[in-house]
Amino acid sequence: MIFATAIAFSFQQSFGNFTIPLFVALVISYMLKDRIKELMRFYFAHKLGSKYYDNKINISIKDSPIGWSKEGVDFISETKIPQEVNKLRDNSSWFEMENKINDEKILLYRKRVRIDRDKLEKNSKYILSGIHDVMRFHINRFTHKMDNPKVPLFVLDKDNNIATIKGNKVYVINIIMQFQYEEKIDYKIFKVVCNRSGILKIEETNS
């Protein structure tokens, strides 16, 4: 906004008010403003993403703060996936063929939680070994844009004539969760099979 305002003032001094050059300058400056904002968002998301988060929540018991929670989410390319995570992904030939056709999208969600142990124990009458953090992942926005659950497929019948049958159109969402506490790292892998009607099956695989 500062960039667009500065351009407007400079052109106003040169060409005056309500002139065609001023109008063109205002349009271009606002276009460049949006482009600069997008480039800055890209820089902070990809270059400084490991240090900055989208949202921060303070955790407290009654009025006593005991810690905080930070969250960040963004789309990333396959080249930015850590090597250990790539090994856990399903690299079967079927998925490789599907990804070449539909271009797999990778969504990175990061969450960092810090709890002060001393403050936590001072504000509780009971011995606490930790906290429960529930993450809710809604797929409504995904299923809303999915294809019909039933799609026509063409096959040959016993007389070698072309026949039409109904096939199930399903989508697979692979979820790889990394849990890290100090130097200890653990992984959980889930495969969600769904269509436009909702979730059909959830499988947990061994990491």
pLDDT tens-digit series, residues 128-164: 777 788 888 888 888 888 888 998 989 888 888 899 9
Residue 73 pLDDT greater than 50, yes or no: yes
Is residue 105 within 8 A of residue 75, CB to CB? The reply is: yes
Residue 11 pLDDT greater than 80, yes or no: no
Residue 36 pLDDT greater than 80, yes or no: no
Is residue 21 within 8 A of residue 11, CB to CB? The reply is: yes
109: β partners: 73
| 81 C-beta neighbours (distance < 10 Å), count | 15
What value does the mean pLDDT of the chain take?
Answer: 78
18: β partners: none
Look at residue 37 and give its three-state secondary structure: helix
Nearest to 55 by CA among 67, 72, 74: 72
pLDDT recorded at residue 111: 92
The mean per-residue pLDDT over the stretch 178-202 comes to: 89
pLDDT recorded at residue 100: 56
pLDDT bin (cut points 50, 70, 90) of residue 70 is very high
The mean per-residue pLDDT over the stretch 111-137 comes to: 83
pLDDT recorded at residue 101: 56
pLDDT recorded at residue 201: 92
pLDDT bin (cut points 50, 70, 90) of residue 94 is very low
pTM, 2 dp: 0.65
Percent of the chain beyond pLDDT 70? 71
pLDDT recorded at residue 68: 92
Q: Which of 54-63, 99-108, 122-131, 189-198 has the lowest mean pLDDT?
A: 99-108
For residue 28, what is the enclosing H or E element? helix 20-42
Q: Which of 41-45, 135-139, 187-191 has the lowest mean pLDDT?
A: 41-45
Write b or e for each residue in 27-50: b if 16 or more Cβ atoms lie within 10 A of its Cβ, otherwise e.
eebeeebeeeeeeeeeeebeeebe
Side-chain half-sphere CA neighbours of 103 within 13 A: 3
22: β partners: none
Q: Which residues contact 99 (CB under 8 A, 6 or more apart)?
A: none
Please provide the DSSP assignment of 84-145 as one string: HHHHHS---HHHHHHHHHH---EEEEEEEEEE-HHHHHHT-SS-------------HHHHHT
What's the pLDDT tens digit per position in 57-69? 998 888 889 899 9
